[in-house]
Amino acid sequence: MKKKFKKVITIALISFFAVLFSLTGFLFFVRQEVKSQIDRGVIDNIISSESPVFYNDDVTPIGVFFEKIHSKYINYRDIPKIYIKALIASEDGNFYHHSGFDFKAITRAFITNMKAGKVVQGGSTITQQTAKNVFKREKSGYISKLKELFQGLILEYFYTKEEILEMYINQFEVTGFGKGLRIASEYFFNKEVKDLTIVEAAFIAGMVKGPYKYNPFTKSTDEAKNKAIKNANIRKNYVLKNMFKLNMISNEEYLEAVKQDVPFNEGQVTYRLNVILDYIRTQLQSDYFKKILHDEGVDNIATSGIRIYTSINKEIQDAALMSIQKNLPLLDIRLSGMDINIFKDRYIKKVGAYYQTHESGLPFFVKIGNIIKTDKGPEIKVEWNDVMTGIIDIPALKEVANAWAMWKYGYNFKYDFNYLNEFINLFNEGDYIPVTISEEGDGKISLAPIPELEGGVVILKDGMVKAMVGGYFNRHFNRAVDAKRQLGSIFKPIVYTAALQLKWHSLDKLSNVRDLYTYQGTYYLPNPDHEPESETVSMTWAGVKSENLATVWLLYHLTDRLTMSEFKDIVEILGLARGSNESYDDYVSRIRDEHGVLVTNSAIREAAFNMACKSVESDILFDGNLYALDNINRLHLSIDSKKIIDDNKSILRYNFEQLKKINTQMLDDLKDINLLFTLYSDNPSGIETSLNRGLNRLYILKTNDGDERIIYTGNPLFINGREFFRATINDLIDRKEKFSLDDIWIDDLVPSGILTNLQEYMNKHYRELSAYSRYDINILSHIRDFKTLINLAYVKKLAKDMGVYSPLDPVLSFPLGPNAISIIEGAMAYQTLLSGEINTIQGVEKSEGLIPAITKITDRDNVLIWEYKPENQTVVSKTISASIVEILRNVVKNGTGQRARDAVKMDMDFESGNMELPVLCYGKTGTANRFTNSSFVGYIPGLDSITGEFDLNLGYVIASYVGYDNNFPMKGKSFNISGASGALPIWIDSAKGIVESREYKKGINISDLAFTASSTQATKNKSMTPITVSKKDGLPVTGSENYQVDDQVTEIYINQGEQSSAAYAREFSPLKGKNNYE
């Protein structure tokens, strides 16, 4: 027994000394490691670390986070005592009573975290946190935690508590441009540190570990700002409670401070950040990047010295910014004229102050010295900084003058007239005006009117951001990301993509007439934004001409071509099928109560009626009656006229119930018609009397094909044709051999016999449907509200899978753009349309909206921490992508985007001269309701450095928008800003900047390019076949039609597939289910 006991003791002692020796050795190792870092000068350099952000050349800086010139160090003696108390209460209540680590706090945190099943409390002391931030740390793990503990001991050995507090208080992150207490005080409360109140001190002490969580100034929506303020007050109260527990404040002070909200008052700390740095900063603060950095030992970016490399190209970025700064003022002046007296106010409102020196990098104000009018034109001399002088550039001034003249004279503006001398009268000597100085080295001074209009530009390549402009000044508020705008018809190609996935073809005929759509008890009657040229168009032409009516019709009928099995697949994909373990009653509750689908008797009757319309089609086609078929497809079972708030009531005639009544009346009025043919000669007056009312409503129409229709109507204005006359008894007698009541057209819409057949079919289908349980899929598949629910849910899901992360309302006006999204979401969606894939950061959910811009992150020694590895997820097939791109090509060639046609050219210099090569453009215009937003999203192809050919697979996505921040309509007295007139000019200038960049031409032999490159090659796809279509409706031209080729037809490419020319290739390639891309 004694031997066994001695053995245990021996083992214990050996273990103890082994552990002690190991810890001593580890302490010595840590001591040696931090030996070169423990010097105060080294620590101060780390505290003042900068984090540069680079363009994609990896050399040129975009800017710097925590720039040294904005460092505002504070010594311990100047730190308010109330703040020191608040900080200790918040982070380390036992600070003055430990030697670097707090065993009790570590134990308490361990127990709390074990109970919670996750990390909810930390045990690190202020000393440990300081050590972690100033000493080089390994990747996160137990060893790094142990090192942090020993580093705290070493820090406490070399420095006093006061010195450690001073280090800590100067190094915590506040925003991307600053750190430490002084910055926090000025930024959050616009005051000096010495003036901080208890409430303000408690808040700053509480936010040190989560500066963005509690910062309302970095939030882009009211909801997010309110949430940040709420969190800030909760955190402030937590700190106050701890202060009270530690007897740092009295009960009265505690109760008074708890009642007060944090009095945020944003101060102007710096102007150096731009929206790209804001965007990078936001990404670094995402949960994804915080975890990446934490795992690499970086918890405080402010002292990390990390280096961030991006995909942003400087030349392309500069061109995009120039496109905004050039076009916005001209558009603003065309809308509202120009008043030089409001430029300062606008400047201050947007930037916070105005500059009178060029060094700011922004437009600045100069004083007009004198104005001279000469025969060659006016001359404006300006001066600034008391000694600098210059002359306003006349060609640039002429552009502004023309914009002003367009506003003043409207439709009477003369393009060949020089308005400069008149425009110059707006200026007086001694006025201060905003100008810019050219960066080209020529010192050219240009007038820079400050616009009220704003806008944004985003350029992507391979799913990564190449350029981003968030407004005229490109700082503070990032409109490219945070401004949620109604982008109008930009959404239409999403609907076309959904249709092509669900067995539609780009040449399918779509109804392009104003029609009524019902959904969950509401009526929707869309309006066209222009007079349609044709009542039927192809899907391609609906996109080319931006046809509202045809696109809404397509959305309403999105799943019409699917078989029952295919429809069930879509319902399953959308999570709207009955679950395998879901009871019938639970399913009914979900579809009825959550999604609003009511399967009532009237809903079943409507479903039966719609089925009847399909059943009667064969009867109509057998008779060759295509005009009747078009009308049948527009019929509604019933229409509540009280719900039609519209001046145009013609839609009411497409009411089946009303047509039945008219038909019944006709049959009653003409019930004695057979007597006319047999007894008229014996009793003409009696027959005329019995048929009198019917004859008053009977007309005969001569049709274009030489035939005729007998029509019964109370309103001859409904008759579709010019050559018609009221029928007489003799007219009917002359036609008695062919006359039949079944052939009489009711209201010139449908023959009487067809109406009768419709009712019979409807009764039959009603009996069939009634045999099922009401929420059985066999009946739901015919219920109009359920089908519309599926259609809307599908396009909503498609948009999300394509990169639109903003919440979308599933409404029938979806393709017209009622949902507000950012322009970068529009760019990402079109990137997906181009490639068929969405590019995301590996391991990041699409819903987070992290569109890649960071290519890699290194530490202060340039050792790689993280590198971008794209995760490509297929959303759209290659053939569908090609069909959509073809629509966008024709938007520019034949439709609303024609301003971009031949507008982008690449300059090529040869020994013998200069040549311009056109670059093909693709895109879609978008104009929001009431002209509140103008947008354009599209592509230009890239250049293949091997073949020298244009290639859309290497293409750039460009998205731009223009609009007032308050969504005020962009309507002037003679000029409205649409997608084509507002966003498109900015888009074109941005595209020009791309093709002239070194990145675009990199590796290209210009002399070979002129002979091998062909812009048309960018449109071709092996699955695409050329076909000639009418410019009126986009439908194929037959040999019998007489067209003038140049004026009335055009060639487009379609997905013909391997089928014969008589049939179009159709796809059923829907999105995957709720767990996409499994």
What does the pLDDT look like over 358-409, one tens digit per residue?
766 688 899 999 988 877 778 889 998 877 788 888 888 889 999 999 999 9
Cα–Cα distance, 66 to 49 (Å, whole number)? 7
Please compute the mean of the pLDDT values over residues 469-477 and round it to a whole number.
90
- pLDDT at 1078 exceeding the cut of 50: no
pLDDT higher at 694 or 1061: 694
Strands 51-54 and 307-310: parallel
Ramachandran region, residue 688 (left: φ > 0; alpha: ψ -120 to 50; beta: rest): alpha
**pLDDT at 1058 > cutoff 50:** no
% of the chain exceeding 70 in pLDDT: 83
Of the candidate ranges 126-135, 706-715, 922-931, the one whose mean pLDDT is the lowest? 126-135
Confidence of residue 295 (pLDDT cuts 50, 70, 90): confident
* Dihedral over Cα of 385, 386, 392, 393: its sign: negative
DSSP annotation of 579: P
Of the candidate ranges 335-349, 545-559, 680-694, 856-870, the one whose mean pLDDT is the lowest: 680-694
Q: Mean pLDDT over residues 932-959, rounded?
A: 92
| 158 — pLDDT class (breaks 50, 70, 90) | confident
1020: confidence class by pLDDT, cuts 50, 70, 90 = very low
pLDDT at 520 over 80: yes
Q: State which H helix or E strand residue 435 sits in.
A: strand 432-437
Q: How would residue 1060 be classed by pLDDT, with cut points 50, 70 and 90? A: very low
Examine the pLDDT at 1015 and tell me if it is beyond 50: no
Alpha helices in 559-672 (DSSP H): 564-573, 584-589, 601-615, 617-622, 626-632, 656-669
Query: What's the whole-number mean pLDDT along residues 498-507?
Result: 96
Task: Specify whether the CB–CB gap between 937 and 490 falls below 8 A.
Answer: yes
pLDDT at 1077: 30
Vertex 353 angle, CA 349 and 356, to 5°: 130
| Whole-number pLDDT of residue 167 | 86
Query: What average pLDDT does this structure show over 1024-1033?
Result: 91
What integer is the mean pLDDT of 82-102?
A: 85
Can you tell me the distance from the alpha carbon of 989 to that of 985, in angstroms, rounded to the nearest whole number? 6
- 841: enclosing H helix or E strand: strand 837-841
Residue 133 confidence (pLDDT): 75
Q: What is the DSSP letter of 392?
A: B
- Per-residue pLDDT at 109 exceeds 70: no
**Amino acid of residue 425:** N
- pLDDT at position 1046: 54
Between residues 42 and 627, which one has the greater pLDDT? 627
- Kindly report the average pLDDT of the chain as a whole number: 85
pLDDT at 990: 97
Q: Which of 1072, 1077, 1065, 1076 lies closest to 500 in space, CA to CA?
A: 1065
pLDDT at 862: 86
Per-residue model confidence (pLDDT) at position 11: 61
pLDDT score, position 60 = 92
Contact 478, 915 (CB under 8 A): no
Residue 1076 pLDDT greater than 50, yes or no = no
For residue 179, what pLDDT is reported?
83
Residue type, 39: D
What is the C-alpha separation between 835 and 875, in angstroms, rounded?
A: 9
- How far is residue 399's CA from residue 395's CA, in Å, rounded to a whole number? 7
Mean pLDDT of all residues in 593-610: 96
* Strands 536-538 and 698-702, sheet pairing: unpaired
The predicted pLDDT at position 1039 comes to 60
pLDDT of residue 695: 79
Contact 576, 787 (CB under 8 A): no
Most trustworthy range by pLDDT among 16-25, 61-70, 152-161, 1063-1072? 1063-1072
pLDDT of residue 352: 74
Q: Select the highest-mean-pLDDT range: 377-391, 492-506, 898-912.
A: 492-506
Output the pLDDT for position 1042: 54
CA dist., res. 814 & res. 798, Å (int): 12
* 692-707 average pLDDT score: 82
Are the CB atoms for 230 and 71 separated by under 8 Å?
no
Task: Report the range of poorest mean pLDDT among 364-378, 835-849, 926-940.
Answer: 835-849
pLDDT, one tens digit per residue, over 770-813 is 999 999 999 999 999 999 999 999 999 999 999 999 999 999 99
pLDDT at 197: 94
Cα–Cα distance measured from residue 103 to residue 88, given in angstroms and rounded to the nearest whole number: 17
Is the pLDDT at 120 greater than 50? The verdict is no
pLDDT tops 60 at residue 941? yes
Which of 98-107, 442-451, 598-607, 941-950 bottoms out in mean pLDDT, i.e. has the lowest? 98-107
Is the Cβ–Cβ distance between 178 and 270 less than 8 Å?
A: yes
pLDDT tens digits, 954-991? 999 999 999 999 999 999 988 999 999 999 999 999 99
Average pLDDT over residues 1041-1051: 65
Instruction: Give residue 19's pLDDT.
Output: 53
d(CA 1050, CA 894): 9
